[in-house]
Structure 1
């Protein structure tokens, strides 16, 4: 008998706060969660585990960022309209963010007036903010729609092709069965191998494009950042395509 045990991350919702989202480039409501590390038996935990930190998730773009509870006056249990949420959770937010909001106003109105190094830093930042989400997602196998369709197609092939071969070309029935097995396995493995790229293309690139659009990045700038991330072993650098980013930038 195999006993499955170890430690896993446990997330506990605490409430909501108002804060600046560097992806949306404006103040947003965030859901705050406690992150613990707890022992599990067959992936079942009975406690919140040892505290390892907090995270906040933007309720608009769904980007997950680190959180420091000392930054907030309180963490209301319920999400509120922004003026009320600012007042209860982060009353000094606009004062603290004065310089950043002024910078974002320049980005919105005249990004070409920014110094080259400032503008390039702003282009690069969302890549590195989104990278931990990609690392977390790709650390486990996720059964997305394409994978499920591939498994379904493999089952259909197994039920139909060998039977048809047995009926119409019995002399090739064994070869048909072998070919069906090989094709089905290749189909499923291909979906597993490309699941990371699909996730990045469908979930990360659209959000990244929203953050980048006001800055009007050049293809050469995007290529530099992607190459840098590849060199630093970020999975996002390996899975993302500059052409996909350009596609979404032109669409939105």
Structure 2
């Protein structure tokens, strides 16, 4: 069987200094070029057409899209932050000076934030991870639980014919059909649940860490999620408020 199509291709461009919303400060980031290339049996031979660039924080591992034009260059290897600042984003401190001042208030005197500042900081925590959520839900994803469910289901199905012949030989065909139907439903359920597992493991903990200093109330969180939903962000519907509150 010929397996072909398109797949994402990741190519490292280097390392830079940049501001991380989740860490609330300047940190080292790895920059990757994300392309879409033709594959044959999952092997690609080019870097593909550019989709976007992403940066990954060295400390919290948050992944976000980035505009590489703001960097003066890329450092080929991980390096101390002062080296990255000098070689990749020398004016970063000036660019984010206002934001750094705001983050100091968030960490040390959150009660002094204006209503507008507080709302902006809360929204930023969600918006920083929204592209990651959008990319996850743009195609079917098989997480480890789903893969293990498929493998174990196939193994169990191998024993169904022999078991059916032993316990009900006259209904072997019906039992096999029923078993296949149950397995198919089980796998579909795991595929459906994989999105929730992704949110619980990869998104909610980072959002919770970012907004915890502000101790947001239920009404604030509900307003943010409803606003995101109105603006067609999947984060608004896929993130469950109860699960977020449980981690605050």
What TM-score do the two structures reach when normalised by structure 1? 0.86
C-alpha offsets along residues 99-125 of structure 1, whole Å, 9 cap, x if unaligned? 211110100012122111220121111
Deviates more, 1:116-125 or 1:153-162: 153-162
| Distance 1:53-1:167 versus aligned 2 partners, 3 A rule | closer
RMSD across aligned C-alpha pairs, in angstroms?
A: 2.4
Task: Quote the offset at 1:230 in angstroms.
Answer: 2.3
* Cα distance between partner residues in 2 of 1:167 and 1:66: 58
State the partner residue of 1:58.
Answer: 57
1:103-142 matches, within 5 Å, as 103-142=102-141
Instruction: Report 1:78-117 matches (<5 A).
Output: 78-117=77-116
Within a 5 Å distance, the mapping from 1:15-94 to structure 2 comes to 15-38=14-37, 40=38, 42=40, 44-51=43-50, 53-94=52-93
* 1:180 matched residue in structure 2: 179
Q: Could you say if the C-alpha distance between residues 160 and 3 of structure 1 is closer, same or farther in structure 2, counting changes exceeding 3 Å? A: closer
Q: Distance in 1 between matches of 2:191 and 2:51?
A: 31
User: Does the CA contact (< 8 Å) of 1:157 and 1:184 recur in 2?
Assistant: no
Match of 1:243 in 2: 242
1:191-212 per-position Cα deviation (integer Å, ceiling 9, x unaligned): 1122112111111111111111
Aligned pairs, number: 247
Contact 2:17 2:27 in 1 (8 A): yes
- 1:213 CA drift (Å): 1.0
- Extract unaligned runs of 5+ from structure 2: none
Q: 1 CA distance for matches of 2:3 and 2:84?
A: 46
> C-alpha separation between the residues in 1 aligned to 2:2 and 2:156?
33
How far off its partner does 1:184 sit? 0.5
Shift of 1:53: 4.7
* Residues 72-97 of structure 1: CA deviation (Å, up to 9, x unaligned): 33311001122322232223322332
For structure 1, the residue ranges without an aligned partner over 5 or more in a row are none
TM-score normalised by length of structure 2: 0.87
The SS at the match of 2:211 is: helix
Separation in 2 of the partners of 1:41 and 1:193? Answer: 27
Q: Secondary structure at the match of 1:57?
A: strand
Structure 2 contact 7–39 (Cα < 8 Å) conserved: no
Q: Distance in 2 between matches of 1:107 and 1:3?
A: 51
